[in-house]
Chain A
Amino acid sequence: MNDFLLFAALPYAALLVFFLVTIQRYRQRKFTYSALSSQFLENKVHFWGSVPFHYGILAVLFLHFLFIVMPKTILAWNAAPLRLWALEATGLAFAVLALTGLVNTIMRRWTFAKARRTSNAGDWILYALLLVQVLTGIGIAIFNGWGSAWFATSASPWLWSLFTFQPDVSYVAGLPLMVKLHALNAFLLVGVFPFTRLVHILVVPNPYLWRKTQVVLWARPRTQAGKGG
């Protein structure tokens, strides 16, 4: 029963909050969608926090994504021990990169008075959750090795059971505590996502890549503007 609360009810609640609040926030408080960068207030240590964290976490998230959508392919890849080793080592390296960046970011926010001034309670909660997430992730990689192998028979089906609205918590019931914590904390992050600066992920500027260099906006269509005169 407890497992059901934590690994089925809570994820759904988190996802519901995620969708409702991000949409409501985008429609009604669009102004608050910002990365809230503090690079302007301190731009030396910023590099050693933001850059490794982002590259590290993006790579790790990408690997998680692969494991979820194509567990069989991952298992086939892992058939050769050397390839399993390489995959595990790559994941761990990026996780350590993310941790380094995160620790630098938190230290920077705390030690530089100007950066601390612009941090609110939401930022600190977010940092705490991210730190737990990255630390448990690294812990799993080290102490509960070969996650890329057992992921396919536990976490991946569990997540699929959630996505297909047939929640089956039996997949995660027997997992070690650290893995459970990692999974639980992930959904906590999903739940707090819309209330924090994490929303900047949803507005990454991909249109920039396709748009024309200069942006000129007309108050009304140009052809109409000339008609009356």
Chain B
Amino acid sequence: MDVRSQIATLFHLDKCIGCHTCSIACKNIWTDRPGTEYMWWNNVETKPGTGYPTQWEDQDAYKGGWKVENGDLELRSTSKAKLVPNIFHNPAMPSMDDYYEPWTYKYDELFNAPEGDDQPTAIPVSMITGQQINIEAGPNFDDDLGGSKVYAANDVNLRELDPMLRAQMLEIERLAFFYLPRICNHCLNPGCVAACPSGALYKRGEDGIVLLNQERCRAWRACIAACPYKKTYYNWSTGKSEKCILCFPRLETGQAPACFHSCVGRIRYLGNVLYDADRIKDAALKTDLELVDAQRDLILDPNDPAVIAGARASGVPEAVIESAQKSPVWRFVKEWKMALPLHVEFRTFPMLFYVPPLLPVMSVARGGVVTSDVDAMFADIEKARAPISYLGKLFAAGNDGKVRYALRKQMAVRLWRRHVTVGDISLEEATRALREAECTPEQADAIFKLTALASIDERVVVPPMQREMAIEMLEDPHEHRAGTGFGTRTPPMRV
């Protein structure tokens, strides 16, 4: 057993209002430099929709992530044998057209325009060439366009969906959409790290954050192709790739990452989990339908004495183990099984989990009149506006049962709380729903509390982090009192 700590994150999609505040917070801090204009380390997509970059989920085209080949794991885009042929021209490399060409407007022309009969206009210009451009796409042009023939209809996840369901999702009266905010998943089995020919990408051992050493990156572009989530980006100006750093300078000082801190809907949770690094490969070789469970099994119970002993033996500091016991991500993912990874079939084991959205039908239009079509308070999850099989494609590699379980529990909590606070649902009905969802009243209250009432300190539990030389947060400083820090023991110069 090789126990390691990983900072895991969770987005509660039932709470996301799609305001893009997270994206703006991130952009203002990290990606407002030349070469990064097109990058959105945090972006918010509308689902069904084509996403950013366009149709990124289509790995037949983008060749991201892993595949099982002859009983072994292989990257779709690269391998040691493909290093030489891929290095001059990477056939799986997306181009800027797959994202969008960033632009600005010539605002000064509004002010400097000569007096005339027409309103002055500010023409759009490319932020790369400076020339006038015809804007064709932006980072969120599918925003709110569930049902759109251009965006929603081309959602990759709809391809293998039952034609009836697909048609229903595009019907104007019945269309549904929800938001999918995305950052780097800081995967347990990252494709970007495995693909980097220079070894510039690495996973930090202590907290699992995946970073890209700018000094070592040489623009071979393999990470861009290998990441199935397209969350490594190529800076065309510096000739280096860049990615979400989970705001590690903020985390190391105990603050939530910018996108978490600014989240208006308070949908974002962060906390560390303990996992067994020895079992990653075996888990990644499981079949699609087994993958959700395989990934969950990697995450260890931080309250189990055997796990605690294993963590100590593997050198996980006590304070980090204690932090894992308070992790909200642990509760949602393992204790309640309400959160699922996005596209686990890419086999990178993303450490960003999603609570799938509950989109119950409250009323329907019939003959031009909107009527309540449900006999109970909320319609059954099977009749939800976003079909379970669609959510199953996104969050469970087609294992719809996992989504159904998560949604049923969310619904049971709603019914239970309705019973407690309003009382128009009988105790019998509420407890039956809880029982069917394998949930106790105490659990339901805990889920409700962490979902609806939790303060930022409960939502974002930052473990003590190993900053260079900042041992005092983790360990007894007296143990190290003669040390001068990192690796060396040079006594101070005194005459």
A binding-site residues for B, Cβ under 8 Å: 30-31, 33-43, 46-47, 50-51, 53-55, 113-114, 116-118, 197, 200, 203-205, 207-209, 211, 213-220, 222-229
Closest to A203 in B: B218
Distance, CA A220 to CA B206, complexed state (A): 9
Question: Is B160 in contact with chain A by the CB < 8 A criterion?
Answer: no
- 10 A-B pairs with CB atoms under 8 Å apart are A34-B238, A36-B219, A39-B93, A40-B94, A43-B89, A53-B88, A208-B197, A215-B201, A215-B202, A228-B474
Complex Cα gap A116–B130 (Å): 12
Q: Does B494 contact A (CB under 8 A)?
A: no
Q: Does B319 contact A (CB under 8 A)?
A: yes
Q: A118-B237, A215-B193, A219-B205 are in contact. Are A229 and B317 (CB under 8 A)?
A: yes
What are the 7 closest A-B residue pairs judged by CB atoms, nearest first? A226-B315, A228-B475, A205-B197, A34-B239, A36-B239, A218-B205, A229-B317
Residues of chain B with a CB closer than 8 A to A226's CB: 312-317
Which range contains the number of B residues in contact with the other chain? 35 or more
Q: Is B471 an interface residue (CB 8 A)?
A: yes
Selected from A43, A53, A228, the residue in CB contact (under 8 A) with B317 is A228
Contact: A118 with B236, CB < 8 Å? yes
When distances are taken between beta carbons in the complex, the residues of chain A under 8 Å from B197 are 205, 208
* B479 at interface, CB cutoff 8 A: yes
* Interface 0/1 of B332-355, CB less than 8 Å to A: 000000000000000000000000
Q: How far is the CA of A225 from the CA of B214 in the complex (A)?
A: 26
**Contact indicator B88/A43 (Cβ below 8 Å):** no
Is the CB–CB distance between B316 and A205 below 8 Å? Answer: no
Chain B residues with Cβ under 8 A from A36's Cβ?
A: 219, 239
Choose among B224, B234, B317 the residue that contacts A225 (Cβ–Cβ < 8 A). B317
B194 proximity list for chain A (CB < 8 A): 213-214
The answer to whether A205 touches B205 (Cβ under 8 A) is: no
Establish whether residues B129 and A223, one from each chain, have CB atoms under 8 Å apart when the complex forms: no
Closest chain-B Cβ to A197's Cβ sits at a distance in Å of 8
- Residues in A with CB closer than 8 Å to B480 are 228
- CB neighbours (8 Å) of B46 from chain A are none
Q: How far is the CB of B11 from chain A (nearest CB, A)?
A: 25
Q: Is the CB of B487 closer than 8 A to any CB of chain A?
A: yes
- Give CA–CA (A217, B466) in the complex, Å: 12
Are B199 and A215 in touch, CB under 8 angstroms?
yes
Cα–Cα, bound, A207→B317 (Å) = 32
Interface string of B172-197 (1 = CB under 8 A from A): 00000000000000000110011011
